[in-house]
Amino acid sequence: MQQAAQIFGDRATEFTQDLGRVNSMMASLQTSWTGQASTNFNSAMDNWEKSFQVIINKLINMMDVMGVNTKDYVAAEDHAADSAKSFASTLPGV
């Protein structure tokens, strides 16, 4: 699970950087392109950006959930291992 959480985190970082590059290109394009086609394209790109940000946020959420689950799993495993040690020390012949 830790590996999956890391992959989600890596993709979220990569996608955030990609989104920044697209926004930079859009800003550059908007300085020289005007008119209705430009307005329509900008509106479509705004919608795309919002949708892409939702994907990034979902990846971050999944990473957080998996990280918490991983921590809980590791803590439960550590507790179980400690309990097993205490049982072993009290059992005769073990």
How do the domains of the chain map onto residue ranges? 2-85
Range 24-41 burial, b when 16+ CB lie within 10 A, else e: eeeeeeeeeeeeeeeeee
Tens place of pLDDT per residue across the chain (94 aa)? 778 888 888 898 899 999 999 999 999 999 999 999 999 999 999 999 999 999 999 988 888 887 766 566 567 667 666 665 655 555 555 5
User: Can you tell me the distance from the alpha carbon of 56 to that of 38, in angstroms, rounded to the nearest whole number?
Assistant: 26
User: Can you tell me the distance from the alpha carbon of 56 to that of 49, in angstroms, rounded to the nearest whole number?
Assistant: 10
User: Can you tell me the distance from the alpha carbon of 56 to that of 58, in angstroms, rounded to the nearest whole number?
Assistant: 5
- Fold for 2-85, please state it: Helix Hairpins (1.10.287)
* pTM for the structure as a whole: 0.67
